[in-house]
Structures are given as C-alpha cells and as structure tokens.
Structure 1
Amino acid sequence: MISKPDPYAQSDYRVRCDWGPAGADAVAPGTSIVAVVDVLSFTTALTVAADLGVTVIPCRWRDERAAALAAQHRATLAVGRAQVGPGQLVSLSPATIRAAGGLRRLVLPSPNGSTIARRLAETGATVIGVSLRNASAAAAWAARHAGDTAPVAVVAAGERWRSDDSLRPAVEDLWGAGAFIHHLAALGVEGLSPEAELAAAAYRHIASDVRRALFDCASGRELAGYGYPEDVEIAAEVDVSDVVPVLTDEAFHPVTRDS
C-alpha cells in the first residue's frame, strides 16, 4: 500500500506556515530553516536583546527550573512582567530589556515562542526568531542560507486561552509571520502554501499602519490595559533591526542579515 503524504505538512510547497507547537510539528520536518514568530512579546523581546548583543537562552518554564537554567549559564533571569521590582529589573517586557544595562546572557521564559523554539531545536532544525522589528532582515538571511530550493517553515506562536490552555490564534503573530513571508517573496522565494499566502496578505492589509493595528488587536489592548503600552510601541518598530537571532547550542545568538 502506497502511503499518502501528510496534507498538514504542506510538503508540496517551499514556504509553509502554521500555528503553535502542533503546527510546528507538522510543517517543520524536512525544512532547512524555521522562523518562530511571537510578536507580543517573546520574539520582540528577543530582537531587542539581539540588537544589544545579548545571548538569549529560551526556557519553557517559569519556575525553579528557569532559575536553575540561569544559574547554569550565569545568565540574568527574565521574570514575569508583574514580578519586576527592586533587585529584579528584567522581564519578558521588551522595554525592560532595552532599559537594562550590562546584559550579556538572558534566560527568557515564555509559554509560547520560547517553548516552540526549544521544541524545534530538538529536531535539529535551524531556528530563527522573527518579529515585525526584523522581518526584512530575517527574510534576507533565510533566503541566502536556504539557497535556491530548500524549504522554509514559519510558525506563528499564538497565545493560550486561560480557560482551558488551548491555542488562541493571535492576529499579531499572523502579521509578523506574514511580514517575513512577504519579504521572502519579494526576494524571489517562490512556492508559498495557501497558509503562507494568507499570512502575507494579512500583513499587507495592515502594513500602512502597523502601530494602530497592534494597539487595536486583542493582545495589544490587553498589554496596554495592564499598563505596558511601551511593549506594543516597541513591537510596532517595523524593520528597525538588521539583526537575526539564530538558535545554536540551546541559545539564540545575534547575527547580521548579511552574515
């Protein structure tokens, strides 16, 4: 009996796109590069750290295991936004990372983007962090390293519903994924899956006013409502960064778009 290809793998296409950990498991196998997108806020925080030359160790957990990982790597541990106080100045908030001085290594826990990145790294994939801040640079780096034919996967991290911890597709991650895919296509990378085409079209729809779209979407309203509007402002800094965080040896290391 001839086995049929998995339709969810999007393996007929060079550029693939899906959501969350399960989506990553579906589209990443066989690809050369996987872009993880978590705009509010893991990959935005990651690109801010990369701009400062900081090595970032992604972490699945927000408990004593994160503290142990930070101790192991002699790194600063980013805590939850609400935990920032005297003696602890760095959190998942990109604003706190930008304001902190002297960071060299940072453990960055995140239930979405960080978890997906670690999961993908275990498969041997080359994982990069993409936000709206570095989508163009990341696309240029990926297009060069993928060559003429190697497939590229894009994973929009999404959020979790508090009621049952199921995946909540987050439109800002669709836009971030779409920005990366849009720039890949502009560089001549062909073979977009329908899912990838949709993401690129979604980004183009809001590209003229990204800031407004981010503040209007559910995640942006949530962050601003909790007192973190600066994190939304930083996420809306479209293509200000030429740095690409590449996951190597369990840590994201900053490289330039031309490296």
Structure 2
Amino acid sequence: MAARTQEQYQVRFAWGSAGADRIAHGTHLVVWVDVLPEPSGGGADPAARARAAAALLPDGPEVVLGHLANAAAVAERVTSLQAERGDRCVVAVVAAGRTTDLGVTVADAAGEPTDGAETPEPAVEDLLAAGAVVDALVTVGIDHTSPEAATACAAYTGLRRAVRHLVSAAEGAADLDRETVHAALAAGPELVVLRESGTRA
C-alpha cells in the first residue's frame, strides 16, 4: 500500500493511479482529470479510459471525470455532497498524465481492468484542467488545499487566458489531429460520474 499523503488537507492533488492510492484515503470524491485521448490508446476516449481507471482507484469515494469545461459542475457536486453530509467533503483531484497506457489497461482477456506499471508523466492539459477544478473549488469557498493542489491552481489561474492555445500546442496534442483536439476542448460542462460512492466501476 502506498504511503498516505496530504491527509490534513480538504483538497488534494496527485498524478495517476499511484497518486490516487496515496491521496484518496478518507476522501468523499475523486476527480479523475483526463483531457486528451492518447494516440496509443487504441481509440479509447478519455471517458472510456477514465472508467477503466476508476475501477482501480481505492474503494469508497465517488469518482467523476474532470476536464477544462466542467470545473464548475465539479464544485457544485462538492457543495452538494457537503450539504448532504452536513460536514466537509474531502476531494482528491487526480490528473491522468501521459503514459503508453495511462497506467491502465482497459481490459484483460477476461474483461477485467488491469493495472499497468508505468508512472504517468505530467501533461500540460491535465495540469491546467486539474488547476481549473481546484480554482472552482476555491471560488465556492473550499480552499483548504494542499501545496500540490495550490500549485496546480496557480498554473491555471496564471495561464487561464492562454489555456486553449497551450493545450493545442502541448505534447499531448502533437500526435492527434486538429479535430480530435478541438473536440476535446469543446467537451461540455456536464458532470460524468464514473463510479458511485462505495462501489467499483
């Protein structure tokens, strides 16, 4: 089991499934942030890969998909959970990053998700989207953030006017056609629930 980290903070941030193992303990919501498809991902879009990733995350918290356009919806979900609980909602924001398989194989021969061994590299698009989520949480008053989450937030707020350009010019977009990148950037504000609380995907 990975060492538990950032446990004193309400809003936490890490990279990939291994990062989720470190920071998702005691949380009520995990936001899996994945903006662009992987060229080597066999055609799987971020939502499909995120569902596979959700099956590997620690049991307990609800898991939702985060991206650049739905940060406000994530914040609304957190405030709703706090109202339901009558207490604070602890959030783990987890950026998928870039690896051959994002640390996840969608399914093995038996149809079960399997874990990859690679550690994700930071990805500009996922860092900015994670920062957008943290910024939206801070905006609604959920601002007890870890240094890691605060840094992601600062990256987004400092660069928010250039986000679309930065994502389009980033390594993650280099091997994708322009239409695929534009479609990812045009993702709507809806919140996609990848796993209900207390269940596996």
Cα distance, 1:168 vs structure 2: 1.4
The answer (yes or no) to whether the contact 1:15–1:154 under 8 Å persists in 2 is: yes
Selected match of 1:142 from 46, 71, 78 = 78
Cα gap change, 1:197 to 1:33, in 2 (>3 Å): same
Q: Residue 22 of structure 2 aligns to which amino acid in structure 1? A: A
Establish whether residue 80 from structure 1 lines up as the match of residue 38 from structure 2: no
The answer (yes or no) to whether the contact 2:64–2:192 under 8 Å persists in 1 is: yes
Per-residue deviation, residues 72-124 of structure 1 (Å, max 9, x unmatched): xxxxxxx833xxxxxxxxx5289xxxxxxxxxxxxx3x3xx34431112x612
Q: 2: CA distance between counterparts of 1:165 and 1:152?
A: 24
Q: 2: CA distance between counterparts of 1:166 and 1:188?
A: 32
Match of 1:245 in 2: 192
Establish whether residue 123 from structure 1 lines up as the match of residue 59 from structure 2: yes
Establish whether residue 197 from structure 1 lines up as the match of residue 167 from structure 2: no
The answer (yes or no) to whether the contact 2:27–2:90 under 8 Å persists in 1 is: yes
Q: Residue 26 of structure 2 aligns to which amino acid in structure 1? A: G
Cα distance, 1:182 vs structure 2: 0.3
Runs of 4+ residues over 4 Å off in structure 1: none
Match of 1:14 in 2: 10
SS in 1 for 2:55: helix
The answer (yes or no) to whether the contact 2:35–2:46 under 8 Å persists in 1 is: no
Per-residue deviation, residues 36-60 of structure 1 (Å, max 9, x unmatched): 0011138xxxxxxxxxxxxxxxxxx
* Structure 2 portions without partners, runs of 5+: 102-116
Cα gap change, 1:25 to 1:206, in 2 (>3 Å): same
Cα gap change, 1:151 to 1:250, in 2 (>3 Å): closer
Cα distance, 1:179 vs structure 2: 0.5
TM-score, length of structure 1 as denominator length:
0.61
The answer (yes or no) to whether the contact 1:178–1:196 under 8 Å persists in 2 is: yes
Identity %: 36
Match of 1:103 in 2: none
Establish whether residue 229 from structure 1 lines up as the match of residue 172 from structure 2: no
Match of 2:94 in 1: 155
Q: 2: CA distance between counterparts of 1:202 and 1:32?
A: 25
Cα gap change, 1:229 to 1:93, in 2 (>3 Å): farther
Cα distance, 1:184 vs structure 2: 0.4
Match of 1:213 in 2: 166
Cα distance, 1:146 vs structure 2: 3.3
The answer (yes or no) to whether the contact 2:97–2:121 under 8 Å persists in 1 is: yes
The answer (yes or no) to whether the contact 1:93–1:231 under 8 Å persists in 2 is: no
Match of 1:58 in 2: none
SS in 1 for 2:56: helix
Larger-gyration structure (1/2): 1
The answer (yes or no) to whether the contact 1:132–1:237 under 8 Å persists in 2 is: no
SS in 2 for 1:128: strand
Q: 2: CA distance between counterparts of 1:150 and 1:141?
A: 10
Cα distance, 1:250 vs structure 2: 5.2
Q: 2: CA distance between counterparts of 1:41 and 1:138?
A: 21
Match of 2:106 in 1: none
Residue-pair matches, total: 177
Q: 2: CA distance between counterparts of 1:31 and 1:93?
A: 23
SS in 1 for 2:92: strand
SS in 1 for 2:27: coil
Q: Residue 139 of structure 1 aligns to which amino acid in structure 2? A: A
Q: 1: CA distance between counterparts of 2:152 and 2:27?
A: 19
Match of 1:46 in 2: none
The structure in which a higher percent of residues are strand is 1
